[in-house]
Amino acid sequence: MTNWTENASRDLMSVGGRLAMLTHGEGSAVWDADENRYLDFLGGIAVNCLGHAHPVFVEAIAAQAATLTHVSNYFATPGQLELAARLKRLAGTGEQGRVFLANSGTEANETAIKLARLHGSKHGRSTILVVEGAFHGRTMGALSLTPKAAYRDPFLPAIPDVVTVERSLEGLAAAFRHNDVAAIFVEPIQGEAGVVELPDGFLARARSLATEHDALLILDEVQTGSGRTGEWFAFQREGVIPDAVTLAKSIGAGFPLGALVTFGAASDLFYPGTHNSTFGGNPLASAVANAVLGYIEDEHLLDNVNARGEQLRAGVAEMPLVAGTTGAGLLIGIRLTAPVAAEIRAAAHENGLIINAPTDDVIRIAPAYTIGDAEVEEFLTKFGAALAAVAASAPTPTETPA
């Protein structure tokens, strides 16, 4: 047994627990320092869309690192321009769309906050609406848009004029009754809240209300974008066109990269001096994203995302402790009949399966887009064993918990 926990405790800031020290991976499998093998069905929290050490990812990094890795924001590079054009095409922005490349989802959302402020300042409006249960990041601006008290309150005061909207059509309409709204931020599926789906018609109503009140509709697709839900963007499942969308995670398959993509008039809000990033859109990140997105497109992996998602939902449907599933594509929330998600996650880990528990009664999985029958079968076997272990240890109705 290695002493990595002692080293981590001594040298790393205490910002979260670490379950193992992983050393290498291949496909949907990873190994820890003691050579224990795990099936990775969390994918770095919806990041590793091609799994681990995929040749396309590895070759893109090696080839680009041998030529040009960083040039600063004083220059453009071919890969950066290719990526921007690709994202416009995949998002369907048309010619008027524009792209800002950042380094993470949080940075993309920080950029979107500034976009909202620029739009609102034209009309003397500053209010930004967010939806209850939202998670938009942990830097101060993005954290201000994240209404979970445990995350936000230790760092108050937050940026002002952020209003939380009830997750209902009625709550949405009520929030727009005051004509001071600059923008509304919405996650099409709330991943950190437990893979929570919005009420039917919520996104379309947000679009119509934002248009009516001359506010921006900004969609946070950091977790749902880049094909995770079986479409390039989750908003495409709804037939809704936003003013801006943020993305990260799967766009680089593990290489740090984020983006803000704008539509229509929102593309004209930024001007020189209002925003930038030293590392944003660097040649190495751009090359990786182009290779990853190109591979997903060329290999028609979104078809696999949809097919494997349905296969997994059907596979867990009749398992013990499972109440149902939420999400789309390969972003799946498995709802439980009891608040035992932490116990199931721990049992799965012991059985060589990586999943996570965003809430007490939900298990989240977000595996690679490349999974096949073998990975699905292994997941169902290991997950079923974890459920059975927890179900067996749970008190019966006649027992009194200690």
Mean pLDDT split into 10-residue runs, the chain, 402 residues: 80 84 97 96 98 98 98 95 98 98 98 98 94 97 95 94 97 92 98 97 98 97 98 96 98 98 98 96 98 98 98 97 98 98 98 98 98 98 98 63 43
| DSSP code, position 396 | P
Structure tokens given for 229? 């839900």
Backbone angles phi, psi at 245, to 5 degrees: -140, 140
Backbone angles phi, psi at 162, to 5 degrees: -110, 125
Residues 246/77, Cβ–Cβ less than 8 Å: no
Whether 4-53+300-393 and 68-298 share one fold: the answer is: no
**Residue appearing with tokens 């984020």:** 258
- State the distance between the two ends of the chain, measured CA to CA, in whole angstroms: 32
Q: Quote the CA–CA distance of 90 and 71 in Å, as a whole number.
A: 26
Q: Quote the CA–CA distance of 89 and 92 in Å, as a whole number.
A: 5
User: Which positions are catalytic?
Assistant: 135, 220, 249
What are the b/e assignments for 240-256, b being 16+ CB within 10 Å?
bbbbbbbbbbbbbbbbb
What strands, in cross-sheet order, belong to the sheet with 362-365?
A: 322-328, 331-336, 362-365, 356-359
The CATH architecture to which 4-53+300-393 belongs is Alpha-Beta Complex (3.90)
HSE-CB for 329 with a 13 A CA cutoff: 29
Residues 250/227, Cβ–Cβ less than 8 Å: yes
Backbone angles phi, psi at 372, to 5 degrees: -130, -165
Largest CA distance in the chain: 70
Residues 249/48, Cβ–Cβ less than 8 Å: no
pTM over 0.75: yes
Residues 221/188, Cβ–Cβ less than 8 Å: yes
Structure tokens given for 125? 């409006």
Q: Which distant-in-sequence residues (6+ apart) come within 8 Å of 139 by Cβ?
A: 106, 107, 110
Pairing of strands 127-131, 181-186: parallel
Q: What is the DSSP string of 157-204?
A: S--S-EEEEPSSHHHHHHHTTSTTEEEEEE-SEETTTTSEEPPTTHHH
- Give burial (CB, 10 Å; 0-12/13-18/19+) of 342: middle
Return the bridge partners of 333, or none: 326, 364
The yes or no reply on domain 68-298 and CATH 3.20.20.80 is no
Residue 148, number of CB atoms within 10 A of its CB: 14
Pairing of strands 258-262, 244-247: antiparallel
Asked, as a colleague might, if the bond just before 199 is cis with ω within 30 of 0, I would say no
Closest-CA residue to 45 (of 193, 249, 322):
249
Task: Domain ranges for the chain, please list them.
Answer: 4-53+300-393, 68-298
Q: Quote the CA–CA distance of 188 and 165 in Å, as a whole number.
A: 14
Backbone angles phi, psi at 20, to 5 degrees: -165, 165
Pairing of strands 356-359, 362-365: antiparallel
In angstroms and rounded to an integer, the radius of gyration of the C-alpha atoms of the chain is 21
